[in-house]
Amino acid sequence: MSSIDRLFQSLRASGRKALMPFITAGDPDLDFTAAVLKKLVSAGCPICELGIPYSDPIADGPVIQASYTRALAKQIKLSQILEMLGTTAPALSAPIVTMVSYAIVHRHGVEKYVAEAKASGVAGAIVPDLPVEESGPLMEICRRADFSLIQLITPTTPPDRAKRIAERTTGFIYYVSVAGITGERTTLPQNIVENVSRLREQTELPICIGFGISLPEHVRLLAPIADGLIVGSALVRRMAQVGAKSRETVLEEIGGYVRELLMAIKREKR
């Protein structure tokens, strides 16, 4: 049982839901990335997602794309990210998962990536550009390493394909709330509840919902049907203010924003 499995087992037993923040590694630098991870966990987030910068992301909106561009312009390397995680992740009371392109994993070496990521304290990987039909080799390597391989299901995924994806997923399913790109939205599609309910009939895995979630009202809407809620662009946008604001100010604003969302989850639970 991986650390992600243990986390969601514990959350389900106590009727709690996870807030999963996403941030970009190396924007504006890795020292700040480490500081934000610590702030997120100390604020109460039980799991965090770290984006590995990539030049051609397939589903990220302008805010996250811009953060990747800034990190890559500073020549942030995968080895540097893993080194930072190696000194940061083991001290955190929350699993870390990476959002990473398969192109990066393949170029680094699949077995090498999984081994080094796990040695650095990473609990699993979300690989958005890996088709389920081609996921077998990575799935087997992850299984042997007890390293979660998290895959995505979208509103347009046919039911039979969604079932195949669920069968090749460990840790949790990342359910994409909208047929589009990441980014903050004022409203979410009305069919989310129906789609997630249908997906629950096909799998017992935890389901975490991402894309577009940024407001307390989103959290209150989705907490009853989700095991976890993923928030990214709203946090990445705040991190981009470093320079215009001090690092200490941005950290406090991030902490306050996350605590507001966590309070919305707790109120929904009651």
Which residues are catalytically annotated?
Answer: 49, 60
Cα 9 from Cα 181, distance rounded (Å):
30
* Nearest partner of 205 among 221, 227, 185, judged by Cα: 227
* Nearest partner of 173 among 198, 190, 141, 145, judged by Cα: 198
In this structure, the number of other CB atoms found within 10 A of the CB of residue 111 comes to: 14
- Who contacts 167 (Cβ-Cβ below 8 Å, separation ≥6)? 203
